[in-house]
Structure 1
């Protein structure tokens, strides 16, 4: 089963399961999860080929949804249900699960992603991490300096470097970069999953992001007929990191 990190204690409210995006981990969600755990159990996880979870040869949404289903089965609350939040790749994982196995999901939050194929790629970041010289690294500051030649944005570098394990000898990435690179087309794509998730669903986006566009709404409504839409002002794609208090408030209000 996937590696999980638990926050809070089980209560009479359904547990909340949070699924991170590409290059992320349970660790990225620690502060948000802690604040959302005041009245329920919150479960964060490392998806396959990320963090401390197992390494596998695939990164398909069917496989990732199956992984998350196992976590839900292990932690489901009253009535066998959870609330589910997924960001980016994790949002597509959550949507895949909701469309193919909706029963365990009480409420669904999809953060800044749509059930569509995108025409961008994250291969430059895979290649930058894969090519980073890890020899003699003993500080994150030095890793940041080396990575800056390939990744200009400091925020992106800081995010990626959270997955660099400097305690290992030699240092290593906690990402299965060969598989993520090989599976990139599927990760930024969408498997064309049909069906419907009839439960309450919130598509929560960053106002500065263009991942969920007006032309996506018909597709979203066809798959998620109860979908509601909300935007967080001043936030881009990493809305939970850029505007954490606003993100937490929106999620908590919807789940309540």
Structure 2
């Protein structure tokens, strides 16, 4: 369930600039009797507004689940025998491709503490390329249990051919809730969710399926004592008001 349209603070500079430029171009079109330009101008503005939309969402509150870190389509579900961020333990990776028409705000898949944030410079190849996640610019957010200290999940933000800006809105050692906004990738990109095999009970999605960040349950996991909000309403209020609507450092 989503609330009415609102715009993301992560793209505030872009959508404010787009609105101002569109208004100026529309005024010039009217002034010089170029009415036929009005429609393409506002179609371009509508595209920008649509891209930077950031609806509030009612986050699922049941225990033992991991939700999608972004909107998009599942392009790969695969196992990794030894995943270094999880102390070289086995993991499962669920990869999500975001087109330019998806909501591009990223959300936390579960409750946890941000153990580390690792940004790796790289190329900007097409994110439909299976190797893009290893060669493109990327940002890895590793999450651990707040008290027990073991890895619970990792989210990797991957820049694409058009996406040249990765916004990360969380800091190391912060404790975040399931569904909380953690950043954004601008103009088409990929996110990956990594779950330790020791915690994974069942993947609940399949390749080709469309998902929504913070709403779609990607996997059932062993329940942790995370002090999650007990009701869907509390979850939505907690997660959607905890991230300031300001432009993050890039």
Determine if the TM-score, normalized by the shorter chain, exceeds 0.5. Answer: no
TM-score (norm 2): 0.25
Structure number with bigger Rg: 2
Larger RCO of the pair (alpha carbons < 8 Å, separation 6+) = 2
TM-score (norm 1): 0.25
